Amino acid sequence: QSIEQALDADDVYGRIEALKPTHRIYVGLKRELARYRSEGAGPEPAAIPAGTPLKPGASDPRVPLLRARLAASGDLATVEAPDPAAYDATLQAAIRDFQARMGLESDGVAGAGTIEELNVPLAERVRMLRVNLDRGRVLLSHNSARCREAVEDGVAHLRRRLPAFFGTFCELPLDCGGD
């Protein structure tokens, strides 16, 4: 029915745009996808080798690789620094931003989990965002009415079983976010 209405409308593009999800999570995923696509135009930076956690004030030969990865993901404005091997305040702030965006503990220390996330190739990150956008289109378009009924005092009381990869199921709490 929605497709027929879009075809009958004078502004087909506008009708199709109106059907896209506007949930804050979906919009955030779209924004991240655009950012990664624009940042991923250059060559892939070298992976950061494992080692002891990188902390503010430290000097380590892996720090230039850390800077390059953060610049490639758009979390650091430039790789240039007075001492490229020094873990300075600018790098610490970029690490915290990256950690928060990835759902990691935002402590400003580049430990094993942070380095593992930083080493995800940009093409893989784009693929993950695209998969989640597709899932979001299905989930958010089918559940907007159910969300309004299932939120009480800003807390979602509805869980939905979603097919995950390889035919298994995962439970996902619906975060309706007031939308």
Q: With a cut of 70, which residues of the chain have pLDDT below it?
A: 1-3, 5-6, 9, 39-41, 141-179
Contacts of 154 (CB under 8 A, 6+ apart): 178
DSSP state letters, 40-76:
TTSPPPPPPPP-SPB-TT-B-TTHHHHHHHHHHTTSS
pLDDT at res. 159: 45
Q: Is residue 146 within 8 Å of residue 158, measured between CB atoms?
A: yes
**What residues are paired with 31 via a beta bridge?**
none
Q: Which residues of 142-153 are buried (b: 16+ CB within 10 A; e: fewer)?
A: ebeeebeebbee
Q: How far apart are CA 174 and CA 23, in angstroms?
A: 12
Q: Whole-model pTM?
A: 0.67
pLDDT at res. 83: 93
**Residue ranges of the alpha helices (H) in the chain?**
2-8, 12-19, 24-39, 63-72, 89-102, 112-118, 122-150
pLDDT at res. 164: 40
